[in-house]
A and B are shown apart, each in its own frame.
Chain A
Amino acid sequence: AQSVAQPEDQVNVAEGNPLTVKCTYSVSGNPYLFWYVQYPNRGLQFLLKYITGDNLVKGSYGFEAEFNKSQTSFHLKKPSALVSDSALYFCAVREREKGNKLVFGAGTILRVKS
Chain B
Amino acid sequence: AAGVIQSPRHLIKEKRETATLKCYPIPRHDTVYWYQQGPGQDPQFLISFYEKMQSDKGSIPDRFSAQQFSDYHSELNMSSLELGDSALYFCASGRAGGEKLFFGSGTQLSVL
Whether A and B are associated in the same complex: the answer reads no
